[in-house]
Amino acid sequence: MLRSFSGRLVGHRYWWLTAVALSVVFAMACSTAEPTATPVPPTPTVAPTATSVPTEVPEVEAQPESGGGLQEPEQEWVIRRDDDEVNLILATPDLAPGTRRFAMVLTDKSGIVAFPVVQVESFRYPDGIDSLDNREGPIETVRARYYPFPYGTRGIHVTELDFDQVGTWGVEASIPRPDGSVATVEVIMEVAERTLSVDLGEIPPLSVSRTINDVSHISELTTGSSRYDALYQTSIADALQNGKPTVVVFASPAFCTNAVCGPQVEVLNNLSAAYPGQADYIHIDLFSNPQEIQGDLSRAVPSPLLEEWGLVSQEWTFVMDSEGKVTGRFENFVPEEELEVALVEVFDGNEIASEDGVSDAESEPETILKPEEEELEGEVAQEADPAASEASDVPKFVITETTLWQDAFDLLNESEQACIREEVTEVTLSSVLRQRITQEGQPEAWQYAFFECLETETLDSFFLTTTMGMVGNQLSEPGQICIEELVERSDVRMVLAGEREDTEIEEIAAAGEYFAGMMACSLADQVGNAGTWDEDQQCLADLLDTTDFAQVYVGGRPGASAADSAAFEAFMGELFGCMSGIMESGLQNAVGN
């Protein structure tokens, strides 16, 4: 759960935009609406194809006009927008009905739009892509989260959308602009009867892929300059039949030639090192003759496995469970954090025998610590020494960017640990305890179970320490005191419960009041430190003093009453009206970084 809070409140390196990001989160609370006829946006202005997207920091200049290389089909889509400065590059065009991962790269004249969250709405076009005079919807309204690529040069916004029928669909993103306005950009594309590639729930072809034992040198298996032996140990055919989960990446590291591919092989290697032996990790290069290409794609011979799997994009990643069925399907680049979640899900309940014949579920979870984490673990243990805390048995947590869940788990009492082990499978627990507490992501079932098992005083202590560990060093002393007082007067268990979908109105209200308090503290700290936005500061102070934040938070959730929805909409309008100075300064720094 704290991982979800870190995403809400810290927004990775854009923490100082917390107040802005959180206000957008309120506006982007997930909701659905009955399809209705709506006005149509301006006339389409761009109609790119999947092969004509701009490339940022490519490893080669472009694909050759003829000859070898990966030939992507003419998958056309239409882009239309109300601001010529914004654009959308579709990363997941291979769509069919169902709940689908939807990824896109948003750009403007400054480069990549790196706003932490953006609102996304889907629409139907019943008359097809050749007649865009009317549209139905919004069918669904969701939030897309920004994931930076490794090395910080690019990034991608990702969400999930439910396409309930075949046909022409539009997906529209709303992008906050530096002047306080919101620009929209829409991609209009076809949702086909079935996907071109292997789909979720299917068992993919038992491809006899080459391994390191089939070649004289690893350079025959990958175009990349960084080569990882661990990714070429098992063929796809063997992996899909040995009872272990499998992750397969199709990518050509040296020839990433569009804006939506990235260092996927490095991500796969990182996960293979984080979860050794728990799955088979396989990289398949797009080309069968990497050693012969020598930087000249006209010599490239596409791998026959691409046709077997129905692949047409430049990167694909698939996660299969122990039965060989596809449980995760990622077109183009998938960030490590997103892929890790899909991988851990297939570990749950899947007992994997180790070399000594003892399953991972029967063995004690082993924590992998870096040297600095080992030192931190010692500090945490020292803080928990009874001699250092005579007045209370509540553990003294120390939370930093490198603190693992294992470190916190070790400080819990026996009954709390036993409760967690009873609620969370050992395989899942073994995996998640190796994760950083401040790692971003959506709340998962094991996190709810973890917190429900903690005694109240322990939960309050952990919650406060984690919150301060994530945001405290970004605030002035008055801001830190504001946060401490907020947590101390909040019912933490109610706040956590209010974040769940199956919750009571009182718990929703508690979560609303807590997040409103966080926003109030951060906004007050922000404008107080700026010292130059006097009008913004007074406007915000008046708004925060007069708003019923519990009602606002309830009004942003699905199924809200008309009165609560109206209060939510009114608050959002007033909030953005108060923040012209902060928006202009903040977004100028966030956009394109």
Q: For 260-265, what is the mean pLDDT? A: 88
Question: In what side-by-side order are the strands of the sheet with 315-320?
Answer: 280-284, 246-251, 315-320, 326-331
12 or 513, which is more confident: 513
- Which residue did the predictor score with more confidence, 399 or 351? 399
Residue 205 counted as domain residue: no
- Single out the residue of 32, 28, 45 nearest to residue 558, CA to CA: 32
Q: 547 and 406 in one domain?
A: yes
229 and 310 together in one domain: yes
Does one domain contain both 538 and 430? yes
Is the confidence at residue 487, as pLDDT, over 80? yes
pLDDT surpasses 90 at 157: yes
Higher pLDDT residue, 29 or 506? 506
Question: Is 205's pLDDT higher than 90?
Answer: yes
Taking the C-alpha atoms of residue 226 and residue 224, their distance in angstroms, rounded to an integer, is 5
**Contact assessment for residue 332 and residue 103, using Cβ atoms and an 8 Å cutoff:** yes
Percent share of the chain, pLDDT over 70 = 70
Residue 96 CA: distances (Å) to CA of 165, 187, 200, 232, 334: 8, 16, 11, 32, 19
Winning range, highest mean pLDDT, from 3-12, 199-208, 375-384:
199-208
Q: Which residues are registered as beta bridge partners of 89?
A: 105
Look over the chain and give the mean of its residue pLDDT values, rounded to a whole number.
Answer: 74
CA distance to 58, 200, 364, 473, 541, per residue, from 480 (Å): 43, 46, 38, 8, 18
161, part of any domain: yes
Whether 232 and 116 map to the same domain: the answer is no
pLDDT at position 202 is 93
> Which residue spans within 82-150 are E strands per DSSP?
87-90, 98-108, 111-112, 117-125, 135-148
Q: Could you give the dihedral angle defined by the CA atoms of residues 25, 28, 29 and 34, in that order, rounded to the nearest 10 degrees?
A: 180
Residue 366 domain flag: no
For residues 224 and 187, membership in a common domain is answered with no
Phi, then psi, of 452 in degrees rounded to 5: -65, -25
Question: Where does a domain end: 347, 381, 398?
Answer: 347
Residue 71: pLDDT above 80?
Answer: no
How far, in Å, CA of 303 to CA of 289, rounded? Answer: 8
533 shares its domain with 420 = yes
239 and 340 in a single domain? The answer is: yes
The residues near 567 (Cβ < 8 Å, ≥ 6 apart) are: 548, 551, 552, 555
Whole-angstrom Cα distance, residue 446 to residue 439? 15
pLDDT bracket for residue 401 (50, 70, 90): low
Assigned domain for 219 exists: yes
Mean pLDDT of 66-80: 57
Higher pLDDT, 418 or 69: 418
In a domain, 20, yes or no: no
What's the one-letter identity of residue 59? Answer: E
Residue pLDDT, tens place only, 360-394: 433 333 333 334 444 444 444 444 444 444 445 78
Q: Which CATH number goes with the domain that contains 329?
A: 3.40.30.10
| pTM over 0.85, yes/no | no
pLDDT > 80? residue 478 = no
Highest average pLDDT, of 81-90, 317-326, 469-478, comes from 317-326
Domain coverage including residue 405? 371-590
Among 347, 381, 405, which residue terminates a domain? 347
122 has which bridge partners? 140, 171
Where do we find the tokens 């290697």?
269
Q: Per-residue pLDDT for 63 more than 50?
A: no
CA distance 449 to 441: 16
Let me know whether 552 and 443 are in one domain: yes
In DSSP notation, 151-211 reads: GGS-EEEEEEEEE-SSEEEEEEEEEE-TTS-EEEEEEEEEE-SS-SS--TTPPPP------
With respect to residue 203, please indicate whether it lies within any of the assigned structural domains: no
More confident residue, 494 or 551: 494
**pLDDT of 528:** 54
Q: So what's the pLDDT on residue 17?
A: 32
Question: Rounded to an integer, what distance in angstroms lies between the CA atom of residue 5 and that of residue 300?
Answer: 46
Establish if 537 belongs to a structural domain: yes
Tokens of 591: 């956009």
Residue 106 CB partners (closer than 8 Å, separation 6+): 86, 87, 88, 89, 112, 113, 115, 118, 157, 173, 175, 185
In a domain, 45, yes or no: yes
CA distance 242 to 233: 13
Q: Are residues 220 and 161 in the same domain?
A: no
Identify the CATH number of the domain in which residue 186 sits: 2.60.40
Most confident by average pLDDT, 21-25, 115-119, 538-542: 115-119
* CB-based contact 13:114 (threshold 8 Å): no
Domain count of the fold of the chain: 3
Burial string for 238-277 (b: 16+ CB within 10 Å, else e) reads: bbbeeebbbbbbbbbbbbbbbbbbbbbbebbbbbbeebee
Residue 173: closest CA among 54, 90, 259: 90
Residue 430 clears pLDDT 90, i.e. is over it: no
Whether the pLDDT of residue 483 is over 50: the answer is yes
108 and 129 in contact (C-beta within 8 Å)? no
Structure tokens at 253: 């590291």
Q: Name the pairing type of β-strands 246-251 and 280-284.
A: parallel
- pLDDT exceeds 60 at position 226: yes
Which of 55-59, 141-145, 251-255, 474-478 shows the lowest per-residue confidence on average (mean pLDDT)? 55-59
pLDDT computed for residue 253 by the predictor = 86
Return the minimum-mean-pLDDT range out of 67-71, 138-142, 342-346: 67-71
Residues 52 and 184 in one domain: yes
> 331, 347, 363 — which closes off a domain?
347
Q: Is 299 helix (H, G, I), strand (E, B) or coil?
A: helix
More confident residue, 295 or 14: 295
Q: Which residues contact 535 (CB under 8 A, 6 or more apart)?
A: 581
- C-alpha–C-alpha distance, residues 380 and 398, integer Å: 6
Whether residues 184 and 216 fall in one domain: no
User: Does one domain contain both 320 and 423?
Assistant: no
DSSP helix/strand/coil, 202: coil
